[in-house]
Structure 1
Amino acid sequence: MTLGVLSLALVVAAGAGVGVVLRDRGSASALDPRPTGSAAPGPTDQGPVDPDTVVVTDEEISALLKAHSEALTSGDAKTFTSIFDQKNAALVRDQARLFANLRKMPLTQMSYETLRRTGRTEDSFGRGVTFTQDVAFVHRFTRIDLQPVSEWYRWTIEKASADAPLVVTKVGGAPPSITSGEGSKTVYYPGPWDIWPDVAVVKAGSSIVLARPQEAALARRIAPAVAKATTADLAFWRRNGPPDAAVSTGFVIALAEGQAQLGNLFRRQKAHEAGVSIPMPSWGAGSSIRIGGSRIVLDTTSPFFDDGAGIQEVAQHEIAHSLVATLDSAQFSLFGKANWIVEGFADYAATRHQSVAQVRRFPEGRAYLAGRLARPFEGKLPDNVFWDYENLINANYFMGNLAMRFIAKKYGERKLAEGVAAAYRAQGDKSEAALFEVLGVSKAQFERQWAAYVRRQLA
């Protein structure tokens, strides 16, 4: 897990990308930028300044971002691109493409806000200054995000003389303040609008599918399956979820072709999933909703895309993750929420109308019970430490699914939804305890009953 600095009054503990993994693809990696704190201040106007002094003020940066934001919202491409180094044709072209892509997005809110600043922003001898300014692109997808969320950029900015304008000479993704070996190298960057030459936006019920031009036809073809998956997950939650649980009712789904692309959308890290749901923290203080929305990325080369049923299954799995992501307490957790709850719920949502034997991980479950895997089944729920130990990940996914099926059978789907909501809302590492409290049972009692259920189902 990693820590970052941002002008947000929250801590993100559940910013981990949660996804579907098949066969020996490995486990979903964590994305946890943990934005907290405030932006580093720059020089401000504090009295007379020597006319030869080159100085960059907070007010100057704010004015730059305000004009940039207004140009985007008003559709003024010329003003939007005017802040970038006009001698750098590639940079101007890239930002013009970004402008065109963003204008296609169904966004209710778009603005650029100040984050960290590093480097020399003042020179008493009249020399130009160059520094980096991290900028948050604050945005909100219409009828999808519950709160505005942000993507972080790192701009390199130059001021050539005391009376010269600020000029952006380089644009990239901003890293979190402290990075880990497995965490993303950037904070929710790049979006499809940053790196695709064009973006096809395809409506899929209350969700949307984003695709590169060459996959636009695929996006249109799978849209009915995505719409059906969205409807199914929302219907389940409306019937069973706690009435006070604010959840998303639409989702942003981007299509990636292969693992390299999958790990290079809304994050930059090695990917192993067939699909991933990436929770994004709400921008600003004052809201009780800590996770404002999420972004789903699906690998079109995964086995799930072999047929329509598989597409709906992987979409329904990731949508289930994104649906409940907005319930997350976003409090620090050493090990994260229990994977068997997080992944078990998503897998249950995607396969609950299938029999146990029809679930695609059923063979791994039987092999686990028969003692043919790296560790024998001992009647214990999977733990996060050994979640992907020695290729046990598919069996552990299946055990989580069976745990949810057992809860639904014994306690009912309303208790299942209530328990999952409690697990997401729980502080720290108390997700399991919160679920068991809803069920009115100890973990030891639950494991005994569940293990007997597992053995009956896999006999």
Structure 2
Amino acid sequence: MSLVLVVAVGAGVGLVLRGGGSGGGAAGDGVTDPNTVVVKDEEIAELVEGHSKALASGDAKAFTSIFDQENTALVRGQARVFANLRKMPLAEKSYQVLRRQGRAEDSFGRGVKFTQDVAFVHRFAGIDLRPVAEWYRWTIEKASPHAPLVVTKVAGAPPTISGEESKTMYYPGPWDIWPDIAVVKAGSNLVLARPQDAALARRVAPTVSAAAAGDLAFWRKNGDPNAAVPAGFVVALVKGQAQLGRLFRTAKAEEAGISIGMPSWGVGDDTVKVGGTRVVMDTTTAFFKDDQGILEISEHELAHSLIAGLDSAEFSFLGRSKWIVEGFAEYVAGRDRPITENRRFPEGRAYLQGRLAMPFEGTLPTNALWDFKGMTNTNYFMGHLAMRFIAEKYGERKLVEGVVAAYRASGDDSEAAMFQALGVTKAGFERQWAGYVRAQLA
């Protein structure tokens, strides 16, 4: 079991494509032959703009009219998407043109078929700091020179760069794959669930609300009042890791919960690179056996989401130090309970006693060995103890200052930024921290 934060490397990736364009330049430039089948940028823009207007106005017939009417499953599925999206409290919603690939012109009068990536730009009211985007890949066909464009397939668009964990860009949303959505208010937050889990969502909602209130109170006490932090969160409930890896991403899931950071749409000079997050939690895990466990996982994931908007989103080779990222979330979730009550305490003691795959040598966990031979839970616990030590020695305000400094630095420089904020060297910190760990686990 692990809880991780996923923030796309380079939050601005792909946003330069806003406003349209195709992989091979504007199609149809200089075309005069009436037999030529060509798709112009203006046609794509008109198609996408009409789709936006249909969603905004609540016109289901217009929304589904762009899809292949002979493909009843596709039309029925998009009608379901429309109905689900209409339930979402979105302050902004529109479709925007991204990149195009494939043959969009034919000189011999034959039909053309190509793919067009489209961003669903949206912002949850009172929750997202900025609009964010889910990326679709539409397959579009044009049968003849004067035929309309027809969308024959809808899927998730892949990342623009290789090496991303997810095979799709924030697709699918629950509105894409759930037959219906139970939308439950939880204070300033939303809990989304499949219809059959509506009762569970209603039971979980007060705990999610309490977790959010606790995390936000911690921030108000210790954080910068002018920093970009959300006032609420979106939480989706799923059952099992297969579903966990198939919501707002397409990836292999090994966590119990996740906070997925989504890039701000049209970043430009905006300092907020991560406009919003989507928290997804697996209700089949041990955390959901009781209210205390639900509170713990909620506080942890919402702590990630709380400071996601402060992320620099700069590319880094190894990524932000996990002992800082996970240690902070663990600290926020467990700060009011004795360390001996932590579910990972026995593993921490076994680590200190040399009974695990690696011996305790008084050094902080590294990203490279974070998941080495079953050490993941232990490394979470060590990160937690690092944050407890900082809070006790320097105070919670200095802890928050150090974490924020680490987030605002590039991932590779995050650890150095933390120690600079604390005014200590890494070697000096580890010496003191190692003594603290031994005292806590004795």
Bin the TM-score by the shorter chain.
over 0.9
- Equivalences for residues 356-395 of structure 1 within 5 A: 356-395=339-378
**How far 1:46 moved relative to its partner?**
3.7
- Aligned match for 1:201, one of 183, 190, 194: 183
Matched, 1:255 2:217: no
**How far 1:428 moved relative to its partner?**
4.1
Contact 2:5/2:304 (8 A) holds in 1: no
Match of 1:221 in 2: 203
- Equivalences for residues 31-70 of structure 1 within 5 A: 32=9, 35-36=13-14, 37-38=16-17, 40-41=21-22, 42-44=25-27, 46-47=29-30, 49-70=32-53
Contact 1:28/1:273 (8 A) holds in 2: no
**How far 1:51 moved relative to its partner?**
1.4
Match of 2:138 in 1: 155
User: Distance between the aligned counterparts of 2:325 and 2:153, measured in 1?
Assistant: 39
User: Distance between the aligned counterparts of 1:406 and 1:288, measured in 2?
Assistant: 31
Contact 2:157/2:169 (8 A) holds in 1: yes
**How far 1:124 moved relative to its partner?**
1.1
Say if 1:63 and 1:95 are closer, same or farther in 2 by CA, change over 3 A.
same
Contact 1:29/1:271 (8 A) holds in 2: no
**How far 1:309 moved relative to its partner?**
0.4
Matched, 1:457 2:402: no
**How far 1:243 moved relative to its partner?**
2.7
Identity of aligned residues (%): 67
- Aligned match for 2:2, one of 16, 21, 46: 21
User: Which digits, 9 at most, give the CA deviation of each residue in 1:57-112, with x for residues without a partner?
Assistant: 11110010000001001101000000000000000000000000000001011111
Matched, 1:212 2:194: yes
User: Distance between the aligned counterparts of 2:171 and 2:124, measured in 1?
Assistant: 16
Say if 1:328 and 1:408 are closer, same or farther in 2 by CA, change over 3 A.
same
* Counterpart residue identity of residue 236, structure 1: F
**How far 1:205 moved relative to its partner?**
1.1
Moved more, 282-291 or 140-149: 282-291
- Equivalences for residues 72-91 of structure 1 within 5 A: 72-91=55-74
Say if 1:240 and 1:28 are closer, same or farther in 2 by CA, change over 3 A.
closer
User: Distance between the aligned counterparts of 2:120 and 2:387, measured in 1?
Assistant: 38
Match of 1:298 in 2: 281
- Aligned match for 2:319, one of 326, 332, 336: 336
TM-score between the two structures when normalised by the length of structure 1:
0.92
User: Which digits, 9 at most, give the CA deviation of each residue in 1:407-430, with x for residues without a partner?
Assistant: 110110110111111110012411
Contact 1:30/1:183 (8 A) holds in 2: no
Contact 1:131/1:158 (8 A) holds in 2: yes
Matched, 1:434 2:417: yes
Contact 2:9/2:315 (8 A) holds in 1: no
User: Distance between the aligned counterparts of 1:103 and 1:313, measured in 2?
Assistant: 32
**How far 1:179 moved relative to its partner?**
3.4
User: Distance between the aligned counterparts of 1:335 and 1:265, measured in 2?
Assistant: 25
**How far 1:346 moved relative to its partner?**
0.2
User: Distance between the aligned counterparts of 2:339 and 2:32, measured in 1?
Assistant: 75
Say if 1:450 and 1:32 are closer, same or farther in 2 by CA, change over 3 A.
same
Unmatched 5+ residue regions in structure 2? none
Contact 1:28/1:272 (8 A) holds in 2: no
Q: Please state whether the residue corresponding to 2:310 is helix, strand or coil.
A: coil
- Equivalences for residues 210-289 of structure 1 within 5 A: 210-284=192-266, 285-289=268-272
User: Distance between the aligned counterparts of 2:213 and 2:351, measured in 1?
Assistant: 34
**How far 1:178 moved relative to its partner?**
3.5
**How far 1:45 moved relative to its partner?**
5.5
Match of 2:431 in 1: 448
Matched, 1:119 2:102: yes
